[in-house]
Chains A and B, each alone.
Chain A
Amino acid sequence: MADYETHHYDVVIIGAGGAGLRAAIEAKSRGLSTALVCKSLLGKAHTVMAEGGVAAAMGNVYPEDNWQVHFRDTMRGGKYLNSWRMAQLHAQEAPDRVYELEAWGALFDRTTDGRITQRDFGGHRYARLAHVGDRTGLELIRTLQQKAVSMDIDVFMECKVLSLLTTADGAVGGAVGYWRASGEIVVFEAKSVVLATGSIGRCFTYTSNSWESTGDGHAMALWAGADVIEMECVQFHPTGMVWPLSVRGLLVTEGVRGDGGALKNSEGRRFMFDYIPEMFRAETAETEQEADAWYEDHANNRRTPDLLPRDEVARAINAEVKAGRGSPHGGVFLDIASRRSPEYIRQRLPSMYHQFMELAGVDITAEPMEVGPTCHYMMGGVRVDPESQAATVPGLFAAGEVAGGMHGANRLGGNSLSDLLVFGRRAGMGAADFAEGTARGDRSGESAIDPAQIDHVVAGAMAPFERDGGENPYDIHRDLQTTMQSLVGIIRTGSELEEALERLGDLRERAAKVSVRGGRAYNPGWNLATDLPSMLTVSTAIAQGALARKESRGGHTRDDYPTADPELGKVNFVQRQTDDRGFLAPIRIGPEPLAEMPQELRELLEEGH
């Protein structure tokens, strides 16, 4: 039997980005014993990299903004594949969550009359993003972190969770992982577990995501028997850095365009005017004059096509590069230097200025940036109940990027930070409700977790040390990324997806034979080996979903089915592992109808404003 320490909590939250922290604060405020478990140090999670802002219809800049408009924008941006109820709750509750952060010490940028100011972003009808320069995510995570610390929430830092643990009746009752510093095994028994593990970006070569984004929560939910939905919907952010190669994929905030930056091709043409889709034609400027005037006067001008939703802009850039009108390093130009003063740029976009100056030697106040699409966000994820964020397995909850439904086929910028806050809180509430109503995990009673289950997970994690002559995990990871980038990337086609699934099968077999050397203490090679199963499960789910969805919608674009199919717009592709679980086991997939939207919300979508 494996040797390990065991901790008992009412609620265990896996992941300490915005959603995990917000969930922990909620559960702890209910008086429940709460643990926060994270792969990195507290305060380093990927939320820290969010730049542009938190979308919330506070109406501080445009009083005509309200939750109905935000709801409509979110649904249209998501190409109607969203869970309407999540989109509604999100739009309704986001302003309160922002004001709550302010009461916890966040210092947002202000309007001249002292209120929280808001900035323009793609797909949002009104200036709606509360922000702090271009480091909003840092402000958000630091505020939540400091709140959590003041509440004395137990934090397990640099602790990688390998698997959820289930009770005899199939409910989730804990998790098993290891301390990265020592490699020692740690077991959590809990009445409820919240997944807040973030994204999957490391499955792709070019990504704005950190090493942590390996889809652990998506995969662990599948392994525990929970449903995931819309895994084909991966967002490629249109503007990542393309040069130097070492920073390729690093995010360039949409705030550059929100604050006046324009996309141009090698001929100097503002090409976005050539890519305005029918759905957005009525509300998008047709001339440069109108687009430029819109920045100052939203009422009498239509918005610039540079701020179309991300999926549209990413596809347009892809097409320009393909047509030979790209920049020297295979992107396009993003120009704010010729359009705004150096002082304005440095004040509004300090970290972008810093990032380009130090990493690329480019002064963005004097010359254009080179940008191209980068894997940025996972719309798909664990299927949850909109009110409580409960997964389809009892005792399991999910919030933030690991949860599916909120953003449909494409997320609007700014909607992820608000998502974290709104649904992090709701997941904390849901998990607390569940913990209060269940006797499982009672410290005094017998453990409901079968130790054999723990031993099985531990044996799997330790096996790479015992194997000789297996492959280096880095090689497998690189091949996985190449496969996903080249065959399941921004533009997809049926034959390539089939090839990807075949290659992923080979990669799973290779990963099952991986070897690592060195000890267990802070060993990145071994850490990567334990991340590979998650990435392989998630990559397989993405490729399967992409093959099943025979249409183009939002972040999912099929060359062989270039238009949206109204019938497929009514279904989610749901994936699940049944009897046989784990990263080597098959994943089943099938369409299930979306929930019916009430008439009054339907009318909001149809309003032409």
Chain B
Amino acid sequence: MTDAMPAATPPQPSGSAEPSEPSGSAEPSGPPEPSEPAGLSEPSGPSEPAGLSGSAEDGDAEHTLEPAPEADDEGSVTLRVWRGDQTGGELVDYTLPAQSGEVVLDVVHRIQATVAPDLACRWNCKAGKCGSCSSEINGKPRLMCMTRVDELPEGPITVTPMRTFPIVRDLVTDVSFNYEVASRVPAFAPAPPGPEGYRMQQVDVARGQEFRKCIECFLCQNVCHVIRDHEENKQHYAGPRFFARYAELEMHPLDTNDRRELLRQREGLGLCNITKCCTEVCPEHIKITDNAIIPLKERVVDSSYDPVAWLGRKILRRRKRSPGEAAAARG
């Protein structure tokens, strides 16, 4: 699935539009605004993000069931949902009575239960713990289950699928790219336990625990401009989620594998230019850039480009940490 076919990204502005709407993440200056990392932005009209246009109106006219009122009535909520598949699609408005305390996913569920039972949407826990319902809400990558309707600005709420991954249907994308990257991660390889088993201090496990909070929503992958705007980079770039995974292994008190060369060459760590968009969108508030990517870059640089370390390696033929050292670290 990682072939360079860019075909299945319908919500992208189609060819003619170029990168005119600069994705916030790619902007060279200033801190990335969380409100605009998505190239989708706030649609001013249905034509703009719909990309491959309304040619998808193949007789299935259910979206006309809910004529959308222009103004957001008191006590109603309008969801402007991208509907379509790999061949194209469009934004469809659904207006329902508002209910207090609802999140965007609740409104999607009510749409499914009433007017559009075939509206495709991936979800599981509805509690921000499984990372299934990732989407772009008013252009911002978020979990639908953790986005309250009453915290969004007045007016229609635009819900579109993650743009970096191929469309399956409606709000569901094909995230298999991430599972392929995951399958390349060299496994955890602990030193053998001491006579009393493994001993680790809380302060040492806490570093890895931060990254293990990751719920694999892939919003960081979605917002990362290295692959969001450059499909071809998926061939040689792991992405922020997996840099966090590598960092977690790298910082695991028991692990003995050295993954630095792999990170440098195969997984494209150098392509990340630290715009911190991934950190901005992380629903678990993991400091991906500061705590994972930058330390990894430092370690990779140390191993590959530091002449003293290079000489040391030549002479001593040492790797990151010998099993003996790891055992000693265990206490």
A355 contacts which chain B residues (CB < 8 A)? 127-128
Query: Is A518 positioned at the interface, with any CB of B under 8 Å from its CB?
Result: yes
A517 contacts which chain B residues (CB < 8 A)? 62, 117-118
Query: Is A150 positioned at the interface, with any CB of B under 8 Å from its CB?
Result: yes
Query: Is B174 positioned at the interface, with any CB of A under 8 Å from its CB?
Result: yes
B129 contacts which chain A residues (CB < 8 A)? 48-49, 135, 137-138, 351
Q: Which residue of B lies closest to A350 (CB)?
A: B213
Q: Are A105 and B200 in contact (CB under 8 A)?
A: no
A152 contacts which chain B residues (CB < 8 A)? 183
A358 contacts which chain B residues (CB < 8 A)? 128, 146, 148
B193 contacts which chain A residues (CB < 8 A)? 103
Residue interface bits A201-237, CB-to-B below 8 A is 1, else 0 = 0000000001110000000000000000000000000
Q: Which of A223-261 contact B (CB under 8 A)?
A: 243-247, 250-251
Q: How far is the CB of A344 from chain B (nearest CB, A)?
A: 15
Q: Are B187 and A210 in contact (CB under 8 A)?
A: no
Residue interface bits B164-202, CB-to-A below 8 A is 1, else 0 = 000011101011000100110101101001000111111
Query: Is B112 positioned at the interface, with any CB of A under 8 Å from its CB?
Result: yes
Query: Is A23 positioned at the interface, with any CB of B under 8 Å from its CB?
Result: no
Q: Which of the residues B101, B119, B197 comes within 8 Å of A244, measured between beta carbons? A: B101
Query: Is A413 positioned at the interface, with any CB of B under 8 Å from its CB?
Result: no
Q: Which of the residues A102, A251, A474 comes within 8 Å of B198, measured between beta carbons? A: A102
Q: Are B183 and A149 in contact (CB under 8 A)?
A: yes
Known contacts A358-B148, A524-B119, A525-B117; A245 and B101 CB within 8 A of each other: yes
Q: Are B187 and A474 in contact (CB under 8 A)?
A: no
Q: How far is the CB of B13 from chain A (nearest CB, A)?
A: 24
Query: Is B297 positioned at the interface, with any CB of A under 8 Å from its CB?
Result: no
Quick one: which of B106, B124, B174 has the most chain A CB within 10 A? B124
Q: Which of the residues A212, A246, A522 comes within 8 Å of B120, measured between beta carbons? A: A522
Query: Is A104 positioned at the interface, with any CB of B under 8 Å from its CB?
Result: yes
B168 contacts which chain A residues (CB < 8 A)? 181, 521-522
Quick check: which of A109-117, A398-406, A441-449 contacts chain B, the rest being far away? Answer: A109-117
Q: Are B101 and A360 in contact (CB under 8 A)?
A: yes
Q: Which residue of B lies closest to A109 (CB)?
A: B202
Known contacts A107-B212, A246-B102; A48 and B205 CB within 8 A of each other: no
Q: How far is the CB of A147 from chain B (nearest CB, A)?
A: 8
**How far is it, in angstroms, between the C-alpha of A104 and the C-alpha of B252 when the chains are bound?**
11
**How far is it, in angstroms, between the C-alpha of A44 and the C-alpha of B128 when the chains are bound?**
11
Q: How far is the CB of A256 from chain B (nearest CB, A)?
A: 15
**How far is it, in angstroms, between the C-alpha of A60 and the C-alpha of B183 when the chains are bound?**
35
**How far is it, in angstroms, between the C-alpha of A351 and the C-alpha of B130 when the chains are bound?**
12
A102 contacts which chain B residues (CB < 8 A)? 197-198
| Chain B binding surface, main DSSP class | loop
Known contacts A44-B124, A246-B106; A524 and B118 CB within 8 A of each other: yes
Q: Are A246 and B112 in contact (CB under 8 A)?
A: no
**How far is it, in angstroms, between the C-alpha of A308 and the C-alpha of B107 when the chains are bound?**
38
**How far is it, in angstroms, between the C-alpha of A157 and the C-alpha of B174 when the chains are bound?**
11
Query: Is A132 positioned at the interface, with any CB of B under 8 Å from its CB?
Result: yes
Q: Which residue of A lies closest to B184 (CB)?
A: A149
Q: Are B187 and A524 in contact (CB under 8 A)?
A: no
Query: Is B60 positioned at the interface, with any CB of A under 8 Å from its CB?
Result: yes
Q: Are B205 and A110 in contact (CB under 8 A)?
A: yes
Q: Are B125 and A49 in contact (CB under 8 A)?
A: yes
B205 contacts which chain A residues (CB < 8 A)? 107-110
Q: Which of the residues A147, A247, A518 comes within 8 Å of B101, measured between beta carbons? A: A247
Q: Which of the residues B123, B126, B169, B185 comes within 8 Å of A250, measured between beta carbons? A: B126
Known contacts A473-B117, A524-B118; A146 and B187 CB within 8 A of each other: yes
Q: Are B120 and A107 in contact (CB under 8 A)?
A: no
Residue interface bits B232-268, CB-to-A below 8 A is 1, else 0 = 0000000000000000010010010000000000000
Q: How large is the interface on A (under 10, 10 to 19, 20 to 34, 35 or more residues)?
A: 35 or more
Q: Which of the residues B60, B174, B201 comes within 8 Å of A518, measured between beta carbons? A: B60
Q: Which residue of A lies closest to B217 (CB)?
A: A44
Query: Is A519 positioned at the interface, with any CB of B under 8 Å from its CB?
Result: yes
A431 contacts which chain B residues (CB < 8 A)? none
Q: Which of the residues B60, B99, B213 comes within 8 Å of A135, measured between beta carbons? A: B213
Known contacts A109-B202, A114-B200, A521-B85; A211 and B187 CB within 8 A of each other: no
**How far is it, in angstroms, between the C-alpha of A115 and the C-alpha of B113 when the chains are bound?**
49
Q: How far is the CB of B34 from chain A (nearest CB, A)?
A: 15
B148 contacts which chain A residues (CB < 8 A)? 358-359
**How far is it, in angstroms, between the C-alpha of A150 and the C-alpha of B190 when the chains are bound?**
14
Residue interface bits A522-560, CB-to-B below 8 A is 1, else 0 = 111110100000000000000000000000000000000
Q: Are B102 and A478 in contact (CB under 8 A)?
A: no
Q: Which of the residues A115, A247, A522 comes within 8 Å of B126, measured between beta carbons? A: A247
Q: Are A210 and B124 in contact (CB under 8 A)?
A: yes
Q: Which of the residues A41, A146, A354, A518 comes within 8 Å of B117, measured between beta carbons? A: A518
**How far is it, in angstroms, between the C-alpha of A525 and the C-alpha of B115 when the chains are bound?**
11
**How far is it, in angstroms, between the C-alpha of A521 and the C-alpha of B200 when the chains are bound?**
48
Query: Is A516 positioned at the interface, with any CB of B under 8 Å from its CB?
Result: yes
B174 contacts which chain A residues (CB < 8 A)? 181
Query: Is A42 positioned at the interface, with any CB of B under 8 Å from its CB?
Result: yes
Q: Are A474 and B101 in contact (CB under 8 A)?
A: no
Q: How far is the CB of B65 from chain A (nearest CB, A)?
A: 11
Known contacts A138-B215, A358-B128; A524 and B201 CB within 8 A of each other: no
A107 contacts which chain B residues (CB < 8 A)? 200, 205, 208-209, 212, 252
Q: Are A354 and B128 in contact (CB under 8 A)?
A: yes
> Could you jot down 17 A-B contacts, CB within 8 Å?
A44-B125, A44-B131, A107-B252, A109-B202, A110-B202, A113-B199, A142-B212, A146-B187, A150-B187, A181-B172, A211-B124, A244-B101, A246-B102, A516-B117, A522-B172, A524-B117, A525-B117
Given contacts A113-B199, A142-B214, 15 further A-B pairs with CB under 8 A are A48-B215, A102-B198, A105-B252, A114-B199, A114-B200, A138-B212, A210-B123, A245-B101, A355-B127, A359-B127, A360-B101, A516-B118, A523-B117, A524-B120, A525-B112
Residues of chain A whose beta carbon lies under 8 Å from any beta carbon of chain B: 40-46, 48-49, 99, 102-105, 107-110, 112-115, 132-133, 135, 137-139, 142, 146-147, 149-150, 152, 157, 181, 210-212, 243-247, 250-251, 351, 354-355, 358-360, 472-475, 478, 516-519, 521-526, 528
4 interchain residue pairs of minimum CB distance: A244-B101, A525-B117, A518-B118, A114-B199
